[in-house]
């Protein structure tokens, strides 16, 4: 396959061919070109300098025993955030059903009227997950140094977990022995647990814009003298006029997934209580890896004459999972 030159940008507006461009950066990039169903695709492939995390656990409660730790008193409120990649392999195991993990962050703040106190991971502290007969637990150990913090979520019935993998869902009611620790002996209750999972690959946005009759945009790094990498597209529109065609701009970034990805878009509208797909397209599958950033411009069909709101959705399929971003447009 040959690389397409600038003249092929004109074909973008009619959906005849695709271009995969290169964005200058300190990272290493590669250039590819191929045919898409509609529109064009631009990609940047950059190896991440560090692994990324996508599960955030937030624990909350109050101090129940200050144990003389400076700046902490009984009744102080705390918040603790643990952040990790749930797909990481254990750093070590103990037989079957017990695993340690070392790639994570832990930060905590105890709110006190005399000044907030900050805590983090103690030296050699690890996450530990246990799933054996009679015991399920998720803890950080050993803890704690003077500025260290940790937590214990334990289920003595052994039913909270079915595996020793890092959890992506937690319910406080599933555990019967819970507490947080701070510094040299302070203890806090755990009264709330919140888990937020982000996708391994995340679409940043999708927008509709007018096709450029002069074939100048879309264009990467089209602003001379700019100090950052830029993607130059037509102004995003929310009003789409029937009978006119538009291009749909979409970007995504790989957080921590290695494998095969595929980008797609749909334009849907509720008509007479039924969801109707007005337009859609998907690109060929491609290899994606952590740190990679990709951008697409899909050429669209003419907008039908059915005034009212519609939903523009950009989706990335990675492995057997999907992540989407949506925006509302108005047809008139």
Q: Establish if 146 belongs to a structural domain.
A: yes
Strands 92-93 and 219-220: unpaired
Q: Establish if 242 belongs to a structural domain.
A: yes
Residue 53 has a pLDDT of 56
Nearest to 198 by CA among 158, 257, 245: 257
End of a domain among 197, 214, 247? 197
End of a domain among 155, 182, 197? 197
The CA distance from 112 to 78, in Å, is: 9
Indicate whether 19 and 63 sit together in one domain.
no
Residue 22 has a pLDDT of 29
Hunting for tokens 């060929």 — which residue is that? Answer: 284
Please give the average pLDDT of every successive group of 10 residues along the chain, which has 332 residues: 27 30 28 31 39 81 94 95 93 95 97 89 96 94 94 93 95 96 96 94 95 92 91 95 96 89 96 97 92 91 97 94 95 98
Strands 77-84 and 92-93: unpaired
Indicate whether 309 and 255 sit together in one domain.
yes
End of a domain among 171, 197, 223? 197
Q: Establish if 1 belongs to a structural domain.
A: no
User: Which pTM does this prediction carry?
Assistant: 0.69
Are 105 and 83 within 8 A, CB to CB? yes
What domain count does the chain have?
2
269 forms bridges with which residues in the sheet? 276
Hunting for tokens 């560090």 — which residue is that? Answer: 50
Residue 220 has a pLDDT of 85
- Print the domain residue range for 245: 6-50+200-331
Q: Establish if 288 belongs to a structural domain.
A: yes
Indicate whether 241 and 293 sit together in one domain.
yes
Residue 27's CATH number:
2.60.40.10
Indicate whether 215 and 152 sit together in one domain.
no
Note the residue count of the chain. Answer: 332
Residue 196 has a pLDDT of 95
Q: Establish if 45 belongs to a structural domain.
A: yes
Indicate whether 68 and 193 sit together in one domain.
yes
Q: Establish if 168 belongs to a structural domain.
A: yes
H-helix or E-strand spanning residue 9? helix 9-12
120 forms bridges with which residues in the sheet? 107, 148
Indicate whether 189 and 213 sit together in one domain.
no
């Amino acid at each position: 396959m040959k690389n397409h030159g600038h003249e092929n940008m004109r074909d973008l507006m009619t959906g005849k061919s695709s271009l995969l461009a290169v964005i200058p950066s300190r990272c290493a990039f590669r250039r590819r070109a191929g045919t898409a169903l509609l529109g064009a695709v631009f990609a940047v492939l950059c190896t991440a300098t560090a692994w990324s995390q996508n599960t955030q656990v937030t624990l909350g409660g109050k101090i129940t025993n200050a144990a003389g730790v400076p700046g902490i008193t009984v009744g102080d409120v705390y918040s603790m955030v643990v952040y990790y990649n749930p797909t990481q392999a254990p750093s070590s195991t103990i037989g079957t059903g017990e695993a340690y993990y070392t790639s994570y962050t832990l930060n905590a703040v105890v709110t006190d009227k005399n000044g907030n106190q900050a805590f983090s991971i103690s030296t050699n502290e690890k996450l530990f997950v246990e799933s054996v007969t009679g015991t399920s637990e998720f803890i950080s150990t050993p803890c704690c140094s003077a500025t260290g913090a940790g937590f214990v979520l334990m289920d003595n019935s052994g039913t909270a977990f079915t595996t020793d993998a890092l959890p992506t869902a937690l319910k406080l009611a599933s555990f019967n022995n819970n507490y947080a620790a701070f510094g040299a002996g302070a203890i806090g209750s755990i009264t709330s647990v919140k888990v937020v999972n982000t996708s391994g690959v995340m679409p940043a946005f999708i927008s509709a814009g007018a096709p450029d009759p002069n074939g100048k945009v879309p264009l990467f790094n089209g602003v001379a003298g700019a100090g950052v990498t830029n993607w130059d597209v037509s102004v995003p529109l929310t009003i789409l006029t029937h009978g006119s065609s538009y291009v749909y701009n979409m970007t995504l970034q790989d957080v921590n997934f290695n494998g095969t990805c595929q980008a797609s878009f749909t334009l849907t509208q509720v008509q007479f209580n039924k969801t109707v797909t007005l337009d859609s397209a998907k690109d060929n599958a491609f290899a994606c890896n952590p740190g990679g950033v990709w951008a697409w411009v899909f050429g669209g069909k003419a907008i039908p004459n059915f005034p009212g709101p519609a939903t523009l959705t950009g989706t990335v399929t990675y492995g057997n999972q999907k992540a989407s971003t949506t925006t509302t447009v108005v047809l008139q």
